[in-house]
Amino acid sequence: MENNVSHALHILEEPVQYMALGFMALMYIIKISQMLKKPVPPEKAELKGDRVAGAFESLLNVLKPWSMESTRKNPFFYVEFMIFHIGVALTIGATFLIPLVPVVMTPVVSKVFMLFMGLAFLIGLRRIYRRLTVPEIRIISSPDDFFAITLMTVFFAVGFIAMSLWIQGSPDTGWMWVFFLMTTFFLLYVPFSKISHYVLYPFGRINFGRTFGGRGVMNKNVKNPSWNPK
């Protein structure tokens, strides 16, 4: 099966989306360069561990739920987090795969995408509920936090419906239009929103890994007999 979309939708899917993508990339470049311009605190102390190994280990933190007590103690929260973020990647990925390589989006692949979209939608609902009802989360939540999670949750739902119609052989639907319009909006809005946290993630993690890797607090298996008492 190969679905095709109308010329109008194609314009939204391709040139418009590319322009939005270009805008997002430009904003990210500015954001990253602003951060890179900030001075890095020096480290002139004799190291006990390895700052580079620490930075790598810290960057992979997201894949190691056992490395932090907060994820160790909440495996359910971590699983939710993973599914949600895979859902994000697949949903955005779908908006590129559909116009560019529709042949890839077979019913089986589409169903896998839908599965994650559906789960991410449910998780999104739970996250909204948590933000509203858990006092220590509500107290730190800004309208942007609510808007971001609501937007994502709606995005998953729309994507899910558009994909299910896609599988049934109706690619050019109102839902698909909304799906792509939302993607375009995302690309334009995300650099200004908390959703762009993934651009800052490497900075925070590398800072952490360099500091505590160098001090021998993490990556303790780095061999350095001058300090390791074992």
Partner 1 sequence: MSEQADRLGAGDERKWPTKSEFTPEMLKEMEKLLPGKLNRVVAASLSGCIHCGMCSDACHYSVSIPEDKTLVPAYKADRFRKWYKSKYDWLGQIFPSFVGAHKLDKELADDMYDKLWGACTMCRRCTFNCPMGVDYGMLVRAARGLMQQVGRVPQHLQDTVDTHHNSGNNMAVPRDEFIETMEWIEEELQDEEGCENFKIPVDKKGAQYFLTLNPREPKYYPLTIQASAKVLNAAGVDFTISSRYWDLTNYALFNGYDPDAKEFSMWQVEDVKRLGCEYLLAGECGHGYRSLRWELPNWVGGVPFKITSMMELLAKLVQQRRLKLDKSVWKGHRFTYHDSCNIARSGGIMEEPRIIINAATDDFVEMEHNRENSYCCGGGGGALAMPEFTPRRIAAGKIKADEIKATGADIVLQSCHNCTDQLKEIIEHYHIKAKVMNLAELLAPALVI
Closest CB to partner 1 among residues 42, 169: 42
For residue 31, the surrounding DSSP H or E stretch is helix 17-37
Residue 149 and residue 131 in contact, taking contact as beta carbons nearer than 8 Å:
yes
**Is residue 223 close enough to count as binding partner 1 by CB under 8 A?**
no
Q: Are 131 and 141 in contact (CB under 8 A)?
A: yes
Our measurement of the distance from residue 203's CA atom to the centroid of its chain's CA atoms, rounded to an integer in Å, reads: 15
* Rounded least distance, CB 94 to partner 1, Å: 24
- Shortest distance, position 187 Cβ to partner 1, whole Å: 15
Structure tokens at 31: 């954001």
Answer whether 208's CB lies under 8 Å from 214's CB. Answer: no
Are 103 and 2 in contact, with CB atoms under 8 Å apart?
yes
For position 225 contacting partner 1 by CB under 8 A, the verdict is no
Which of the ranges 88-96, 112-120, 166-174, 208-216 carries the binding residues for partner 1, by CB under 8 A? Answer: 208-216
CA–CA dist 33, 133 (Å, integer): 38
The CB-of-53 to partner 1 minimum distance in angstroms stands at: 14
Q: Is 147 in the site for partner 1 (CB under 8 A)?
A: yes
Cβ of residue 139: shortest distance to partner 1, in angstroms? Answer: 5
CA distances from 150 to 25, 122, 161, 209, 215 (A): 24, 11, 17, 32, 41
Residue 64 phi, psi (nearest 5) = -125, 80
Residues 25 and 188 sit within 8 Å (Cβ to Cβ): no
Note whether 137 binds partner 1 by CB under 8 A.
yes
Beta carbon of residue 120, minimum distance to partner 1 (angstroms, whole number) = 16
Scanning 8-16, 96-104, 106-114, 207-215 for contacts with partner 1 by CB under 8 A, the matching segment is 207-215
Residue 64 is a binding residue for partner 1 (CB under 8 A): no
Q: Residue 81 CB, nearest distance to partner 1 (Å)?
A: 8
Q: Which residues contact partner 1 by CB under 8 A?
A: 35-36, 38-46, 48-49, 58, 61-62, 68-71, 73-74, 77, 134-137, 139-145, 147, 191-194, 197, 200-201, 203-209, 211-212, 215-217, 227-230
